A = this chain, B = another copy of it.
Amino acid sequence: MTLPKYKVIAQYIRAQLENSTWQAGFQIPSEISLANQFFASRMTARKAIEKLVNQDLLERTPSVGTFVKAHKAQSSILEIKNIAEEITLRQNQHRMVVLSKLTLIPNNAISFALSTPNSPTYKVVIVHYENDTPIQLEERYVNADLVKNFLKQDFTKITSHEYLSSVAPLTEADTTLEAVMPSEFLKKNLQMPDYTPCIKLSRITKSNGQAISFVNLYYPADRYKLTSHINVTDS
């Protein structure tokens, strides 16, 4: 069960990133110096670095060096961006308002999604504002057994997604995307005009095979679009 050398080197680098010894923008040691440090050949050190480049943790510039990437892999894992991060990137203010926080015995659809028939489930409803405009309504159900302290968090300070990631790293997600007409409740809380649809994004997230959370995210169609860029030339 001895780890291959390139994985040992990769783990070492990962550790420096995780405890922030090497911060974003930092130039990491060159292939040659890593190879020397670990008594490996340059190709082996290179393999370790390439692994992390593929994971979007590092960035290389020929003739210059290898650098720690600014962006965390976490949000790219999620494909659909973290709303808080997205708003901050636009240099706008992100603010959350908690509409409700409760414990319930879920109905069939949700207990099925969370695979927890008749066992208690937490529910929160949160509106996300970009400056003073509501831009997302989040309706989230969380497995109460697996994330006992969920309701104790202050969701005006930390997003539910951030909290859940810190407790149980996401390993799987099933996502569904629909266009729907908003309910009166949605329309009011998202301050929507008449006859305007919403994007409804539903997601079940799992950690190590166990369903952690089921969430419905509603975006007003008149002020929100989902975008993505795909590049298949490299990778």
User: Contact between B232 and A77 (Cβ–Cβ < 8 Å)?
Assistant: yes
Flag whether A91 is at the interface (Cβ < 8 A). no
User: Contact between B173 and A229 (Cβ–Cβ < 8 Å)?
Assistant: yes
User: Contact between B235 and A54 (Cβ–Cβ < 8 Å)?
Assistant: yes
Q: Mark A153-180, 1 if CB is under 8 A from B, else 0.
A: 0000000000000000011111111111
User: Contact between B176 and A225 (Cβ–Cβ < 8 Å)?
Assistant: yes
Interface-forming stretch among A58-66, A119-127, A136-144, A196-204? Answer: A196-204
A95 CB, nearest partner CB in chain B, Å:
24
| Count of chain copies | 2
Flag whether A55 is at the interface (Cβ < 8 A). yes
User: Contact between B197 and A227 (Cβ–Cβ < 8 Å)?
Assistant: no
Query: In the bound complex, how far is the Cα of B230 from the Cα of A227, in angstroms?
Result: 18
A72 CB, nearest partner CB in chain B, Å:
11
Flag whether A80 is at the interface (Cβ < 8 A). yes
Report A22-68 residues with CB < 8 Å from chain B CB.
54-55
Q: Which residues of B contact A55 (CB under 8 A)?
A: 232, 235
A168 CB, nearest partner CB in chain B, Å:
13
Q: In the complex, given contacts A75-B79, A181-B196, what are 13 additional A-B residue pairs having Cβ atoms less than 8 angstroms apart?
A: A54-B235, A55-B235, A77-B230, A78-B79, A78-B230, A172-B229, A173-B230, A175-B229, A176-B225, A177-B177, A179-B180, A181-B195, A195-B195
Please give the residue numbers on chain A whose beta carbons come within 8 Å of chain B beta carbons, in ascending order: 54-55, 75-80, 170-181, 195-199, 219, 221, 224-233, 235
- Between-chain CB contacts (< 8 Å), 16 pairs: A55-B235, A76-B79, A77-B79, A77-B80, A77-B177, A171-B233, A172-B233, A173-B229, A174-B227, A174-B228, A174-B229, A174-B230, A178-B224, A179-B179, A179-B219, A195-B195
